[in-house]
Amino acid sequence: MVPLPRSKLTTQLSSKYKSNERRGFCDAPIVEEYSYYKGEEDSPTINLEKLFPKIAALAGITKDKNVPKGWISFTKRGDQCSLAICKGITAEPKKSKAPKGLAFEGKNQHTPVEDPLFKISGNLDIHGLHDLFCVVEGLLMTL
């Protein structure tokens, strides 16, 4: 998945990522700016770093002495899910040609060198991003 920020969207980026788009495999959604989602001045805003501090540490946004920097790998085929929480470097670190701020491209780009911190597969009850973040946050809290 390559989320494209609307403020950085150019004709070149759009043709590169949207021309071969296949839903569920090669998605390229256009993401609105934060101000687009921000509510009225008196309404509370959601701070994901505070809601999911362990995931923020995993992503390198904040620091946590027990959580190393890493990434989440999640796949779902029918009712079967596979979740891995990885750390360290990837098997084939390559210089990505993706524009800054977008997902990495390339085969084996996210294959870890070290064993994952957690690896779970089977019938996980994950139906959306919130479910995924709750499961990952809970697992990281055990470190």
Kindly report, residue by residue over 22-39, the tens digit of the pLDDT: 665 566 677 766 555 555
Residue, of 71 and 101, whose pLDDT is higher: 71
> Per-residue pLDDT tens for 110-132?
677 788 899 988 878 888 888 88
In sequence order, what are the residues at sequence separation of 6 or more whose Cβ sits closer than 8 angstroms to the Cβ of residue 73? 82, 83, 84, 85, 86, 110, 116
Q: Is the pLDDT of residue 42 over 60?
A: no
123: containing domain: 46-143
Please give the tally of structural domains in the chain. Answer: 2
Same domain, yes or no: 4 and 60: no
Same domain, yes or no: 59 and 19: no
> Per-residue pLDDT tens for 61-86?
889 999 998 888 888 887 788 899 98
Q: Is the pLDDT of residue 103 over 70?
A: no
Residue, of 8 and 129, whose pLDDT is higher: 129
pTM (2 d.p.): 0.61
Same domain, yes or no: 140 and 84: yes
Mean pLDDT score of the chain: 76
